[in-house]
Structure 1
């Protein structure tokens, strides 16, 4: 809850880009992503938050890489499975800014992002029904790793910027 308080602070803005596959991944019981997907559309319209989603059927100009966070144009934190890299040199920050801007061109925002979220949300708990995916895409078909309350779910293919 403490982290969510930051969303309401004037003068700060959180910009988030994520691949739609992040919304489809089931790494914990379905109640958890269901609650998150119920909350997310309300956050999309906030003045302090910008959410962009790279749809499954989007033409991606670059391969997806590690998640990263840009803080106040002074620091980039790159997440990997075993470590975080904290990059504060101008060249690394400029590179990640270009990556961000490139992916943002392929992302959907606002009402279009809410439609993507709603499509994924409708699929949870109703696997007997056909899933409404974009033309030419298929639903993920893999066995998700076992979930544990001690395991911290990570967001692969997500990028965010706080300033």
Structure 2
């Protein structure tokens, strides 16, 4: 079964309430999986990065503006990475390291965060190189939760997939991407390369802003 959830309906009171719901999903899932090809997984986002993301959501959908409260809840959700009771297999596309969310300074801070968190015992973080060949066609990102649910976030709605046959295909797709992803030192090298890129961009931005004469 596929269950659509229109964002404007779900966010009719702002971003905080739905973040509470997401916190519950993560706390109830001892072993979760996520494939996120184009941006940073929410549970690894810095406060600055998450602020830009939720600001864009509020502005795009025209829902009540409670961005600081929503960001605070997203930061609270990250406790699952440190409580010793949860484990997550996460694959980011290399593009996620370069999708510009908030500018070079925000992105550089986010890369530094990834380089720290990749060492967490609760996290198995892989980076899918842009040129990697995989055994599955390109696909949008998704989260897999225990209890038989796969969640997609689309432009106008969130979608939950609960059919066991479809969920089995998602496990197969995740395994295929996992086999092509880079882990450990190779993943750190890709993140470090992105960090160097954003640091250079930040220096260039600062030079352009510096008064001349």
The alpha-carbon deviation at position 127 of structure 1 amounts to: 4.3
CA distance in 1, matches of 2:96, 2:102: 13
CA distance in 1, matches of 2:136, 2:148: 24
The superposition leaves residues 9-61 of structure 1 with CA deviations (integer Å, 9 ceiling, x where unpaired) of 21211211111011111132222111110011111121101111101221133
Residue of structure 2 equivalent to 1:117: 191
Q: Secondary structure at the match of 2:200?
A: coil
Q: Map 1:1-150 onto structure 2 (within 5 A).
A: 1-72=75-146, 74-127=148-201
Question: What's the RMSD between the two structures over aligned residues?
Answer: 1.8
The alpha-carbon deviation at position 128 of structure 1 amounts to: 10
Task: Give the structure with higher Rg (CA).
Answer: 2
CA distance in 2, matches of 1:99, 1:26: 27
CA distance in 1, matches of 2:201, 2:79: 34
Contact 1:73 1:93 (C-alpha < 8 Å) held by counterparts: no
TM-score (normalised: structure 1): 0.73
- Greater fraction helix: 2
The alpha-carbon deviation at position 73 of structure 1 amounts to: 5.4
Contact 2:94 2:129 (C-alpha < 8 Å) held by counterparts: yes
Answer 1 or 2: higher relative contact order, Cα 8 Å, separation at least 6.
Answer: 1
CA distance in 1, matches of 2:160, 2:134: 26
Structure 1: give runs of 5+ residues left out of the alignment.
130-163
The number of aligned residues is 129
Q: Secondary structure at the match of 1:70?
A: strand
Structure 2: give runs of 5+ residues left out of the alignment.
1-74, 204-213
TM-score (normalised: structure 2): 0.57
